[in-house]
A and B are shown apart, each in its own frame.
Chain A
Amino acid sequence: MPGSSFDGMTEQGMRWTADQVLALAPDAASRAAGGGLGAAGRWSGAGSSGEGVVWGLCEAGGGAPYRTVVDVSGPAYGCSCPGRGSPCEHALGLLLLWSGGGGAVARGEAPEWAERWIKDVRAKGPGDAPDSPGAADPEAARRRARRRAERVTAGTVELEQRLADLLRGGLASAERSGDGLWEETAARMVDAQAPGLAARVRELASLPGTGADRPVRLLEECALLHLLGRGWRHRERLPEGLAATVRSRIGLTARADGPAIRDRWLVLAQYDTADSRLTTRRIWLYGTGTGRTALLLSYGAAGRAPGLALPVGPALDAELSAYPGTGQSRAALGERFAPPAPTDVRPSGTTTAGAAARYGEALRDDPWLDSVPVTLDRVIPAPDGEGWQLADADADTALPLTPAARSRPGLWRLVALSGGGPVRVFGECGHQGFTPLAAWPEGAGEMVPLC
């Protein structure tokens, strides 16, 4: 990544807001601790270079000060503290200090230690190291792939058998035997090296436990599992794109081999979901030039934050490559050309009817899709009994919010931003409803993250 590509960009132009910095925090504790460190008193020798590198020494309560350095163009973080979170509280504090402006972080030459660190990071190359192709013997790789396919096939046969048994006896009586049924089935799918199937089975166990809705949801999910198993076994007869979608739904890793698309990618949202095994981070990007919406997925082992963190709100000049499969938003982040910079561009929006139609059309390419990314324009959040909905300002129609979205604090930021008037909202629209993730006021104003 040549330093010259940052020339002409003002320091002010690429400075992030405190919100954006705090959004990078892997958890609430480091967020709070970082907030406390965002004041000049703890720092010495803090500085920033024109190339998007910020560094500083953070006093460490007696011992040698921690050396903290952040490459904002990554962003990538380095710190000599013993903490394991990334970014750590010191990196957050340093960024807050930097974002606050006011001369606390002087413009200057990076000290030798910071220079060395940055060189190391940039030498590793952009992105999280992808699986290295061609390293091993291609014949052995093909053998491994074939063996794995056989195991997956065996797994789908077993799944098919279990689903058939279930339907033969009836969902009502199976339900009485408890969730152990699904846990065991999920474990068998893990053994079969089909993690996508395992995850879907596990979700069956956590479907809402009561209500008239439950048998319907259960049948829907069982039927889609069945469809996925059949899709796998008949993948040779599927069009290549759909076959790739089936492979990715089953949980086979593929490489993002789509052509690199360079754009200024607006970071719309970043949020984590976690179970006992894995933290999954989703980052939604919107190409301000191409109008494409893309999803970056990254993972962290249980309790650890995933490696990739981007500030929500600014746009990133970078290349993205799509993963294979029809109806997939997922992409991999390639080369980044400049640090995230503010942008006024907003995704263009549609109506609630347009959003529902878009989801319907996307199911043609991927029938297992739970939702699609959509931006709604001129909608008003309105309470609706127990829940909330987004109602068109100019029509008598509305989409309900998903049950999960109702309990998030972002809902209230959205309602506050709207004040009963129309707003633009980006989110995920699917069969459960709409999950708002970012919003813009009707007039001028910054994007408000909702997750």
Chain B
Amino acid sequence: MSTTTTAVDASLPDSWGELVTTALLGTDRRTPPGSAPGPDAPSALLDAAAAATVRRRAGLRPGRAARRPEPAPEDPRPALPPAAARRLTMLLADRPGTPGGGRRGTAPDLMELLPQWLATANARGYAAPPAVLPALLDAARGRTDLRPAALRFAGPRALWLARLNPDWRFALRAAPGGGASVPGARDTEGVRRLWREGLFAERVALLAALRSREPASARELLATTWATERAEDRLMFVDSLRTGLGPDDEPFLEQSLADRSRNVRATAAELLSALPGSALAERMAVRAGACVAVDHTRDTPTITVEAPHECDAGMERDGVVARPPAGRGERSWWLGQLVEAAPLGGWPGRLGGRTPREIVALPVADDWQGELHAAWCRAAVRQRDATWSRALLGEPSAPEAGGPGAVSLAERAKLLGTLGAAERAEWVAGFIETHGLSEAFQLLGVCAVPWAAPVGRAVADALNIARDAGSYPWSFSGVMGLAERCLDPSEASRLEALLALPDEPENASPGAGGYWSEAFQRLVTTLHLRARIHSELTP
């Protein structure tokens, strides 16, 4: 209590100091106050020190109060129902580092349910109980994927708390709008001052917050200082225009195509190409169109490709990267970039009025199919074009869908992202019914949670088939983990039948049946738990 608490020992301020000095030096060298030198001196010193110690302690009084922290802002949201609060405590108590290792047993993986818990609590608009905020912030600190939902749920008091603990600084950076430090929408002067004087992170946060509210004023704010910004900062700032990108941004981006920094130019070009009406998109359409044509002189109409022979200054200005990565031919590298950036809407007109589906179905001469289709896939994703995505995805039951076809699984997953949730689910369900689960992980990852009925049924059936085939469940641990988190809890009753220990088929891996039963048990338990979580959060 020595720092802020004053010891009231007015009667012996000096004698206590004298006692300490004497003790340090030793009674052989110094005689304690009020006693005679000699063999009894140490004992006399200790007697005096004991009395002084008790007197000092008994006289302790509170010290002066330091500056108290500003009160945390009010959290107007309603309090969490008690059962949900208890559940949250349990989920947060299940920290990684738990013993158990490889085999997962039948207990649900509680930490994995936290994202859903948070999403539901946020959708209901509940406030976090103050006492769980430290555990919540610690969890979000360890897992960046949790941060947005955790911080939203944690609310204003968590940001208040994060300012007091350096371990939680991330919360101030990650908070939408950087926490309370971003001025309000009408505070024009505050916005300008923060933009001029703020630290880089604060400025990025300010720009992002403004951009999500009023895209135009964010761009205008950026334009006021654009010429004087450092190249790395310009890159971050131009990238923030991705949010709320629209035709109004074209003049600014077009101007950025002449930027000193190559990365800024490339980003500006990429953004422009996602605006189908932009001048850059039109220029790219002309260039790409010159490379791709339909040859009607053959027996069947066939697409022929004449890749560009050079990357001229105009192409480079429009963001085409001249040097290919190691191992790639430069002409095909340039072609890919042109097709990727050209508006997809122009192709039917250039290729004989064919629909996207018909275009994709055309044979492509001289092994150009892979290159061309891959570029169309990237364009469909960038331009979020559902018609082209559908055409490029093809039928889920087609044999090449499961194999190493023209379009990779990763690309398919991205294409699926441009479709509506129901259509996505139908396609993935169809894929699993034909090709099983071994390739389905990436595709399942893009399905909306909880999985729509067709996906759920397809996964359950496929797992059942895999079990009957006698393989080990951990070959499917990725899908199993996804299923625990994403299957609709109402599917649990359909899965109960799978819990029983099956008869081992002849060619089964030894003991596989027991492991499957365990894995299904965990699946069903987790589904039940998710149903409980849902009902606890539903008033």
The residues of A with any CB-CB pair to B shorter than 8 Å are 17-19, 22, 29, 31-33, 35-42, 59, 61-62, 96, 99-102, 160, 163-173, 213, 215-216, 218-220, 222-224, 226-227, 230, 352-353, 355-356, 359-361, 363-364, 367, 380, 382-385, 387, 389, 391-392, 395-400, 409, 412-413, 415-417, 419-421, 430-433, 441, 448
Residue of B nearest to A218 (CB): B23
Which of B481-538 touch A at CB < 8 Å?
Answer: 514, 518, 521-522, 524-526, 528-529, 532
Asked if A215 contacts B66 (CB within 8 A), the reply is no
4 closest A-B pairs by beta carbon, nearest first, are A41-B525, A170-B26, A223-B49, A419-B72
The answer for the CA separation of A417 and B135 in the assembled complex, in Å, is 13
> Contact: B130 with A417, CB < 8 Å?
yes
Distance in angstroms between the alpha carbons of A222 and B46 in the assembled complex: 7
**Contact A389:B19 (CB < 8 A) given known A170-B25, A215-B24, A431-B60:** no
Q: Are B524 and A41 in contact (CB under 8 A)?
A: yes
Residue pairs across A and B with Cβ atoms less than 8 A apart, 9 shown, are A29-B99, A41-B521, A41-B528, A160-B43, A216-B2, A383-B66, A387-B3, A416-B161, A430-B57
Q: Which of B28, B53, B69, B97 contacts A382 (CB 8 A)?
A: B69
Beta-carbon contact of A415 and B62 below 8 Å: no
Q: Which of B29, B95, B131 has the most A CB atoms < 10 Å from its CB?
A: B131
Could you tell me the distance between the alpha carbons of A96 and B54 in the complex, rounded to whole angstroms? 47
Given contacts A397-B64, A412-B165, whether A421 and B90 have CB atoms under 8 Å apart is no
Given contacts A164-B42, A227-B50, A382-B65, contact A412 B59 (CB under 8 A): no
Residue of A nearest to B57 (CB): A431
**B residues 35-85 with Cβ under 8 Å of A?**
41-43, 45-47, 49-50, 52-54, 57-72, 83
- Do A169 and B26 have beta carbons less than 8 Å apart? yes
Residues of A with C-beta under 8 A to B164: 383, 415
Q: Which residues of B contact A412 (CB under 8 A)?
A: 133-134, 161, 165
A102, A173, A215, A416: which has the most chain B beta carbons within 10 Å?
A416
A278 → chain B closest CB, angstroms: 25
Would you give the shortest CB distance from B107 to chain A, in whole angstroms?
4
Q: How far is the CB of B139 from chain A (nearest CB, A)?
A: 13
Interface centre among B57, B61, B164 (most CB of A within 10 A): B57
Nearest Cβ in chain A — how far from B44, in angstroms? 10
How many Å lie between the Cα of A96 and that of B83 in the bound state? 12
Does B464 count as interface, using CB distance less than 8 angstroms?
A: no
Which residues 149-173 of B sit at the A interface, judged by CB distance below 8 A?
A: 157, 160-161, 164-165
Residue B106 interfacial (CB < 8 Å) = yes
**A416 with B68, Cβ < 8 A, contacts A42-B106, A167-B45, A167-B46 known:** no
Q: How far is the CB of B366 from chain A (nearest CB, A)?
A: 58
How close is A286's CB to chain B, nearest CB, in angstroms?
A: 19
Q: Which residue in chain B gives the minimum CB-CB distance to A226?
A: B46
A29: which B residues are within 8 A, CB to CB?
A: 98-99
Complex interface: chain A residues within 8 A of B261 (CB): none
Q: How far is the CB of A451 from chain B (nearest CB, A)?
A: 13
Query: For A384, what are the chain B residues with a Cβ–Cβ distance below 8 Å?
Result: 3-4, 66
State A61–B504 Cα separation when bound (angstroms). Answer: 18
Max chain B C-beta neighbours (<10 A), residue from A22, A166, A213, A419: A419
**A32 closest partner in B (C-beta):** B98
Residue of B nearest to A43 (CB): B525
B28 is contacted by which of A62, A169, A220, A399 (Cβ under 8 Å)?
A: A169
Is A380 touching B49 in the complex (CB atoms < 8 A)?
Answer: no
Distance to closest chain B CB from A422 (angstroms): 10
